[in-house]
Chain A
């Protein structure tokens, strides 16, 4: 990796982006596009100029690969699942399933077939995506560089799109179950008639905007905080690994090893928090508590 430290860092934080560049766009190498083109971004500027119509191939690719790995392993165990003496793989999978099931049962008391497998998927998937953070920062990007790919960010959860994609899905489920359990009227009432309520009808109507503002903010804050918490933790962790990688190679281990060990905790904890908060939000969506 030639170049200054800031170039190195920026390079490491740039996703491999495939997107649409508008017609007449001057690319990094000086060529001007005749038509709007779908292409790989060659620089960070190109990537950001692509705007919304761009895919982070690395994030998405790693995320899908890791999710598929998780499902492959668990499906393998599920196929061979026996009520007799379980093997090693089944033991491990059962521990995970029971752990998630226990967490769901402690928090969520209704009947819902989706929440438990959803939580299992979130926990295992997020954990695996976080785990990529422990792969030495230059290892995979260098490998892909040799294969001709300029950028490669291997930790999907350091991409805010990935965490937002998941938390917005959870948000959609929150809205769906709120409407399903409480009905449209109940949900609207929950958003507008609390926390301030009055017996006086006029005062009640007067309080509606205030309530809606408060409840709306707290509702919107759920997916945003869910996504940004995971993203922030992993992004910061990744950044520190990159900074450590700037040290001379013989000194790196003194910092990277302790940080990696500490990071094992962060990885697991963040996966757990994402799962737990999903369960909590969904159980709140099921409750007519107000």
Chain B
């Protein structure tokens, strides 16, 4: 995993080009729609108007293509008819007969009166998304409809044509009339949904937050577990001696030969690690420290969405830990977050401590099986292969050291404890996504690093050759 990550995170294509950065040429869309060649990547553009008819015509063509696409039909076949009714009072949408694949992550199940069994209640974001992509039609609820819901007569189908069918404009103005759901949140929601992610409003998963979990880890039964776990961990790797030795080293006992007279006297240094250790005068901060202090976030920052990669095993009732947790921020409203805010966001994340047994977590099924492509391996793959070969020829101790360095560097680069919050910044309709993780130079009690060099002080870059 570590190796893959090292290569994959920063993708640099030919010239750092991101298609979404540019305004698209709509001419290409209609062409590709009719020919079925997929989404066009990049149109040909010019640098300045030159007043020629060629240019003017070509611009007009692009514009017309765009207007045509915008006037396209939004809807679905009557056979798959999906109806929602907007409840003005509660600002939500009721879907009496929820069917289709859309409800894997969308909606909360509801039963109303004896008319609606197994219906869904959707928040404004979900409602607008489904209607906008043409998968649902929506009507404006009124007294007639609520009377129908409360009535006891059986077997009557409701005629929705008694109600006003909402056009998109009407729906938007109703859905975003409240304070809680803003257009910017919707933009982020729809952006992720269009990419195929499963998105839900942020909520804590499981019944315990990080604070209680951390406290439990430190007391009672879980203490015993930790000790057993640790002993087990050591025994399995046959490293009892190494660990003991390093512990004794740490306490200054075995730093000198066994029967040396200097034991328990003034500190003497017999290796560089100890020297470095005593030189680290500045107190360092461990990432979990802030959980105990419980800093409060500023009002403009809050966790907004739980996001999962598409997975066939997703269960709305019992969701796994989210792959991403997103906070939506308007740059006109919020300033750069201060330390307390960042810590508060991290502490409120749905997060599982290392070695914690989670009942709610279903092992993730890998959706994308690596296809054996007939294509020759890419340059990157070749480079990776060659690197691997070179590595395998090295001395085992050196291999181990390289591995250790790589893991540690990644911990500093991508965060040492895996707590990441994605900040989605929005300004005047333009989106940008930023990851914030925690770096920790001290790297105390880090299991991943302990696996390679047990008992080492991972905060010290120097590796003692023994």
Does B associate with A? no
Please list the residues of chain B having a beta carbon within 8 angstroms of any beta carbon in chain A.
Answer: none
